[in-house]
A = this chain, B = another copy of it.
Amino acid sequence: MSVTPRDKAVFEAGIKLGALYHQFVGSPISPKTVDSLEKAISQSISVQPFVKSITVHIDRDMVMENLNSFGYTELTGPMLTVDAVIRYENYEVFAGMALKDGYPLMQVKEVKEA
């Protein structure tokens, strides 16, 4: 079967989430730097093609609970909630990442024809 614009839209959504995760997970983080890391991650992904919008939320409670004796921790997948809208031709893909059953799960939530 030939590749459709809808396929391409959904594929691009997957790329963005895989990229975000493996670029930024592992970054040192503390309660004071959550804001700047959230902003940098969302801006970093937003410059990539076909990203209509993106919000990145890092769970402050999980950051607090995981602080080591030096007062910081590392960004992990379970801390991240991401919602992104990818637009390719006339398709909008609503995709994201959120904690489910203890694991960060990436999902396509909806595909709209605009």
A residues lining the B interface (CB < 8 Å): 1-3, 6-8, 10-30, 32-33, 36-37, 39-41, 43-49, 68-72, 74, 77, 95, 103, 106, 108-113
What residues on B are CB-neighbors of A71 within 8 Å?
47
Residue of B nearest to A19 (CB): B18
Copies of this chain assembled into the complex? 4
B residues near A39, Cβ cutoff 8 Å? 36, 39-40
- Chain B hits for A25, CB < 8 A: 26, 74
Bound complex: CA of A72 vs CA of B77, how far in Å? 14
In the bound complex, residues from chain B placing their C-beta under 8 Å from that of A24 are 27
Name the contact of A37 in the complex, choosing from B11, B43, B95 (C-beta under 8 A): B43
